[in-house]
Amino acid sequence: MTASQDIITLSNPVLLEKIDKLRDANIGQHVPLPQLVVVGDQSSGKSSLLESLSGIPFPQDQSLCTRYATQITSRRDISNSVEFADILKKANERMGVRANVSTGNGTVFSEDVLKIEVCGPNEDYLTIIDVPGIFRTTMQGTTKDDMAMVRDLVKRYIKDGRTIILAVLPSNVDIATQEILELAEEYDKNGERTLGVLTKPDLGKKRPLNLGYFLVRNRGPNGDLEGPSELDKIFRKQPWADLPRDRVGIVALKEQLRSLLVEITRREFPTLIQDVSNQIRECKRELNSLGPPRQDEREQRSFLSSIAEAFQDRTRAALTADYNANSGFNEGELRLITHVVNITDVFSADFHESAHSRHFEKLEPAEPPEEVETPDDSDDKAGLMVNELRELLEKARVDDVAPEELAELADIISLEKISMPVPCDNFGEWINSVYLQSRGLDLGTFNANFLITAFAEQSRKWGDITKIYMRRIIIALHRFIAAALRSVCSEEQVRSKVWTAILESLKEGYKKAVDQAILLVEVEQRKQPYTLNKQFAQALSKARGYRVAETLRPKARKDTKQFGGTQFVINLDDIAKAVEVKSNVEQLQEEIHDILHAYYSLAADRFIDNVFQLAVDYCLLRCPSSPLKVFTQVWVIDLEAEQLEQIVGETRSAKRRRQGYVKKIADLTNALKILRT
């Protein structure tokens, strides 16, 4: 035995055995393994070559041709053994393959693999995979589908760069035109891993292969089982005697095959470890993408509970404007409290601007021409900010309801276009007309019911403007809940089922808030106007004082000496006469105006606060039945097992994928252990 042979046969069985362990563990379905694959036509002499290499009597006649891939492993052991008794017959039965190609039931070819192991003290470590022979015309019992299946099977085995292709070629045909070489060239462009074996000796033209060709003599169809040495004797005679000794005969071929298998295994070993590691990482990534396992009720409840907890965390951060808590808040719809505040500010501005039916009189004394003050631009700044907020609402599209939102919210909020007419300027005329049509035997007073009627008319647009406000708030809240759910639950199917499960409860919460807002409108418009707020008396006194001052203003005269500056003074007798010039009707109209104005201003501010505090902040955002508190861990705990399964139970497809990834990770982890030990 030469030094190189010693390296191959003694130093490398452990390395080759690792590859065989991987192959036995079916790791080849995950990552390509170094291997020798024998390919050729059905009539090329493949079976005879395998018999010569392995010592196993493969069937020679056409009816018993190779029907499936066969893995033949030989290894050195102290005892002789070969698992081959009735193997082919039993294998055919197990795979459902016909015993005879032309007769019987079952398929002609199978994609299963038959594994044969040969052990003995004289065996050298070698694994060869044989695949069915290619055929180009259908024979009795075969079809074009069989032909295509065999070609696909051959391609699947030879396509990987870790496969040595052992192309068996009959020398009695033109080798340059052999289809198996064309097929090999498709995947091995430069012939770097294709070894040609000529089974019927001849020295005709051949295709160049980097691994070259071997010339072998196989046992004839009816010959005795001669050993390789006996078969190789022919090459000691002419015309074969002058050929290189390392390129002829079974013994030389076996040595070359072992050498090639060791070489490719050594070369690919580092990348094989890397491929297995990469596959493990990829499988874990895919497994993680499926989320935590939820095969049983405990796993399902834990899975959904974690989503609900994350949802509530997102809600708490959104209500406190803690937008740094998670990068997901970059999505505009998740900035909930900001939207609520902006919408509420616009509601307040719109309310003060146009919620009244008619403008009240301006009861503010004109500044004396001589006293010119620096203009106060605070109102202008406030107006600019409100305009910016309106632009933000337009960008947020809170007035544009998507079709799916329309379907979900149509019975909760008013979706029709609500027009908001501009307040009229004829307040005095209106008061006069109503008063003249409803006055009784009053003497310096007016009927209290008149104030109820007047306030109801002045506040008749409150309902519509409140509907617009509540619609905007609910749309913003509805979109937040959907966006928050998307941000914490990546699996669309689960998210959709959770949404369906909580939708009715969400709508109930929205409806309670709308009902609360409607109640507040009705309370303000139907009750007897009344307030304990001291500002009412102050405002009314201020209005009365203004009217007296305006009556006296024409009679006021300047005094620049007595008071050290320009002051207006009046005669006390003029004060008494000032209140005598107005009729009872005029005084009553002014009194009605001033009382209504003072009360309306307080009621409007109170109403805006109440709608926000009671209908929005409490009902929609804070109370125990708030829509934001529908999807909680408590809700998950209260779900029945059947509901839980329906919402988060994995589909059959997902279960198969998960089981497949778990199995593959286990297989590859075991493969990595084999490779590294």
Instruction: Determine the pLDDT at residue 271.
Output: 92
Instruction: Determine the pLDDT at residue 365.
Output: 56
On the CB side of 246, how many CA atoms lie within 13 Å of its CA? 7
CB contact set of 587 (below 8 Å; sequence gap of 6+): 444
306-329 pLDDT, tens per residue?
999 999 999 999 999 888 766 555
**Percent of the chain at pLDDT above 90?**
29
Integer angstrom CA distances of residue 573 from 139, 555, 570, 576: 135, 11, 9, 5
For residue 63, the tally of other CB atoms under 10 A from its CB is 14
Single pTM value for the model: 0.65
Residue 419 predicted with pLDDT over 70: yes
374-394 pLDDT, tens per residue?
455 555 566 667 788 777 777
DSSP-derived 3-state class of residue 334: helix
Instruction: Tell me which of 546 and 65 has the higher pLDDT.
Output: 546
Integer angstrom CA distances of residue 321 from 219, 330, 397: 86, 12, 21
Is 406:471 a contact under the CB 8 Å cutoff? no
Residue 9 predicted with pLDDT over 80: no
Instruction: Determine the pLDDT at residue 8.
Output: 38
The two structure tokens encoding residue 516: 């609360």
75-115 pLDDT, tens per residue?
777 777 666 556 666 776 777 666 565 555 556 666 677 88
Residue 5 predicted with pLDDT over 50: no
Instruction: Determine the pLDDT at residue 29.
Output: 87
- What is the pLDDT averaged over residues 328-355? 86
- What is the pLDDT averaged over residues 645-668? 91
* pLDDT interval class at 625 (50, 70, 90): very high
Instruction: Determine the pLDDT at residue 394.
Output: 75
Instruction: Determine the pLDDT at residue 503.
Output: 96
Tell me if the bond preceding 208 is cis, omega within 30° of 0: no
422-445 pLDDT, tens per residue?
888 877 788 777 777 777 666 555
The two structure tokens encoding residue 635: 């809700």
Please tell me the distance from the alpha carbon of residue 252 to that of residue 2, in angstroms, as a whole number. 13
* pLDDT interval class at 482 (50, 70, 90): very high
178-216 pLDDT, tens per residue?
788 888 889 998 888 999 888 866 454 456 677 778 888
Evaluate the CA torsion angle 8, 9, 13, 16 in order and state its sign: positive
Chain-wide mean pLDDT for the chain? 81
For residue 512, the tally of other CB atoms under 10 A from its CB is 18
Please tell me the distance from the alpha carbon of residue 528 to that of residue 357, in angstroms, as a whole number. 19
Residue 624 predicted with pLDDT over 90: yes
Which of 123-137, 257-271, 278-292 is predicted with the least confidence, judged by mean pLDDT? 123-137
Instruction: Tell me which of 442 and 481 has the higher pLDDT.
Output: 481
Instruction: Tell me which of 535 and 669 has the higher pLDDT.
Output: 669
Instruction: Determine the pLDDT at residue 206.
Output: 57
Instruction: Determine the pLDDT at residue 560.
Output: 60
Residue 579 predicted with pLDDT over 80: no
Instruction: Tell me which of 288 and 543 has the higher pLDDT.
Output: 288
Please tell me the distance from the alpha carbon of residue 49 to that of residue 199, in angstroms, as a whole number. 8
Instruction: Determine the pLDDT at residue 372.
Output: 45
Nearest to residue 25, comparing CAs of 612, 666, 575?
Answer: 666
